[in-house]
Structure 1
């Protein structure tokens, strides 16, 4: 058993326990009425989950750093870091929508090496260890076998509320290009909830014009370990330092790069 695999049961336990708390906070009648109410609910969710998750993970890997801001992007210092999202899809949670999860990823020298994504409403847990495959509960995951973009279900989304105008324009142009070339194009949040679909072979391509680590590192490792191809949008090798991300079934990757890079010229 690898050293990273030895960590996995404790990471799963920590994330599932935290997820149970977030599930108790889920209210199907929630209808926030203004921005201040939304922000307060988001922060309360994060705090409630972190009270359990942070001490548990710091016990699992005491020497690892901790990323304080879940919306941070760019390269991390060398060494090990916990990149977590206590409520990935928090905006969905506070609006009584079901696409949300709790994630924890150990990143080593800017590469994700172990990840756990737990969906409390379904009690499904996605896991991956670098070099050892990706799993949904105990079932190994494999990306899609599709080879034609015109049969592909693809998706993207907005990484954070305060995107730059340039980023928003990139999203718009890329969505238009995929609407013209793919079978169906989804635009939704959060990134992780689409990336697990790519890893499971249910979706075929996901891209995002963002470097927000907490939304990308877990899904990037899951897709890679499920046999998919993960790069930046230009087709270069991806790491936490990359400016954006493209994850695809292997036979669709080149076509996706071509469509997206042409759209952004």
Structure 2
């Protein structure tokens, strides 16, 4: 638990750093190149600070350079982190972004923190130790599907995967009639963690997105949510689909998604 507490502290320091640099108005970026330039100037120092702090905690762990990676190393310990998860929201002056840090051991997440400073929420979990929201134990909410608020997202490179792109569109049309609402609330990791705390009832996504899914997957699972692929199989970082849901809704969601396979 000491490592988890120290990781939470490191992530909060980076969150404070970024809060102090986020404007309330959208960044003046006309083109994608403009936006990337503005974001890089903000994200690079924050990423360096996060790496410095976490490397100090676990000197022997490797560092996955690309937080958008769809694959993670199968051997050894690695930090998989994103200093500004939710870059679009951050650049537009919105609150739904987060700092994430996940320690992966032999391809599996064993510790994860998702800190959303503007939302005022810090999710944390350690393998076998349960999950907490701001230090309090949490659990998924029990609701009927018709009363469920669902969430979904798309991997950053989904446009390059025609199968995932098709399934993303078809699954949205399939799920909408069955639930109270479907939302995309920004960072994937934060939304998956919110399934674990009951703020959302379920989340699904198509495409490879290991870097974004790892932290939320551990947090949601440790909180008691069901985490699988869209076929009900065991989710791994190499999977091409993802589902996290309250146990009472997991089977219902899989049944709806089965229609688009």
Which TM-score tier does this pair reach, normalised by the shorter chain? over 0.9
1:100 counterpart residue number: 97
Moved >6 Å (runs of 4+): none
1:35 counterpart residue number: 32
Give SS of 1:143's match. Answer: coil
1:27-106 to 2 correspondence within 5 Å?
A: 27-31=23-27, 32-106=29-103
In structure 2, relative to structure 1, the CA distance for the partners of 1:220 and 1:56 (3 Å cut) is: same
2:217 counterpart residue number: 220
The alpha-carbon deviation at position 188 of structure 1 amounts to 4.3
Give SS of 1:118's match. Answer: strand
Asked if 1 retains the 8 angstrom alpha-carbon contact of 2:71 and 2:211, the reply is no
Give SS of 1:235's match. Answer: coil
Give SS of 2:42's match. Answer: helix
In the alignment, structure 2 segments of 5+ residues that lack a partner are none
2:114 counterpart residue number: 117
| Paired residues, number | 259
1:157 counterpart residue number: 153
Partner of residue 132 from structure 2, selected from 122, 130, 135: 135
1:239 counterpart residue number: 236
Asked if 2 retains the 8 angstrom alpha-carbon contact of 1:26 and 1:96, the reply is yes
TM-score in terms of structure 2 length:
0.94
The alpha-carbon deviation at position 260 of structure 1 amounts to 0.8
The alpha-carbon deviation at position 189 of structure 1 amounts to 2.7
Provide the rounded CA distance (Å) in 2 between the counterparts of 1:206 and 1:69: 24
Provide the rounded CA distance (Å) in 1 between the counterparts of 2:75 and 2:120: 34
Give SS of 2:186's match. Answer: coil
Give SS of 2:224's match. Answer: coil
1:7 counterpart residue number: 3
The alpha-carbon deviation at position 237 of structure 1 amounts to 0.7
2:173 counterpart residue number: 176
Provide the rounded CA distance (Å) in 2 between the counterparts of 1:208 and 1:44: 30
Partner of residue 187 from structure 2, selected from 175, 187, 190: 190
In the alignment, structure 1 segments of 5+ residues that lack a partner are none
Asked if 2 retains the 8 angstrom alpha-carbon contact of 1:155 and 1:207, the reply is yes
Deviations 1:88-129 (A, max 9, x none): 101110011110010001011221111111112244311111
Asked if 2 retains the 8 angstrom alpha-carbon contact of 1:76 and 1:241, the reply is no
2:202 counterpart residue number: 205
TM-score in terms of structure 1 length:
0.93
1:21 counterpart residue number: 17
The alpha-carbon deviation at position 247 of structure 1 amounts to 0.2
Q: Does 2:255 correspond to 1:258?
A: yes
Provide the rounded CA distance (Å) in 1 between the counterparts of 2:41 and 2:68: 16
